């Protein structure tokens, strides 16, 4: 009889060990899956920011591409691309600039002097934005992201750069 009780105890220990082994393997697989998901998620977010940023700026420039409606100025010493639009004899300005790790867009009237760089609406994550006219019709845009990735864009504008800056 004693022999039977020992076999029974060994069977239980074997089953518990086997169960513990499966639990550990399952936890390891779940942790690896979570890490993979985290990496994929951060990559997708970074690519979204990069493609959205340049597409957004390109579409804005193309929609405002008229003589004297695109120029570079600054908002609180931060370089910005200024897009001008006239509605009912009122001049409206749209500022596109990088501030505090974000691409911001700020819309206001041309006579508004109380605007601050932090007032803009956040578009995407962006560490730095370099904008310059290489010629009167060629706009150069360089975007640097928080991941130190960079995108460069050369846009031919049909209208020439405006000399007047507000």
List the chain domain ranges.
1-166
Helices (H), the chain: 2-63
Tokens read off for 31: 């942790």
> For every one of its 166 residues, what pLDDT tens digit does the chain have, with 9 covering 90 and above?
455 555 678 888 899 999 999 999 999 999 999 999 999 998 888 788 788 889 999 999 988 887 768 888 888 889 999 998 888 888 999 999 999 989 999 998 888 878 888 888 999 888 999 999 998 889 999 999 887 788 899 998 876 655 444 4
Tell if the pTM clears 0.75, that is, is over it.
no
Report strand pairing: 102-109 vs 90-99.
antiparallel
Q: Which residues contact 140 (CB under 8 A, 6 or more apart)?
A: 130, 131, 132, 133, 134, 152, 153, 154, 155
């Amino acid at each position: 009889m004693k022999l039977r009780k020992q076999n029974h105890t060994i069977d239980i220990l074997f089953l518990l060990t086997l169960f513990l082994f499966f639990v550990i393997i399952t936890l390891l697989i779940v942790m690896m899956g979570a890490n993979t998901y985290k990496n994929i998620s951060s990559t997708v977010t970074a690519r979204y920011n990069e493609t959205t940023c340049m597409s957004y700026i390109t579409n804005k420039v193309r929609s405002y591409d008229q003589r004297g409606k695109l120029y570079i100025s600054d908002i609180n010493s931060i370089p910005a691309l200024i897009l001008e639009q006239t509605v009912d004899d009122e001049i409206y300005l749209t500022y596109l600039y990088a501030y505090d790790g974000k691409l911001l867009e700020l819309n206001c009237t041309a006579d508004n002097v109380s605007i601050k760089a932090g007032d803009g609406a956040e578009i995407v994550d962006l560490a730095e934005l370099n904008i310059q006219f290489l010629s009167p019709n060629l706009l150069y845009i360089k975007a640097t992201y928080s991941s130190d990735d960079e995108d460069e864009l050369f846009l031919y504008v049909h209208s020439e750069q405006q000399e007047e800056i507000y």
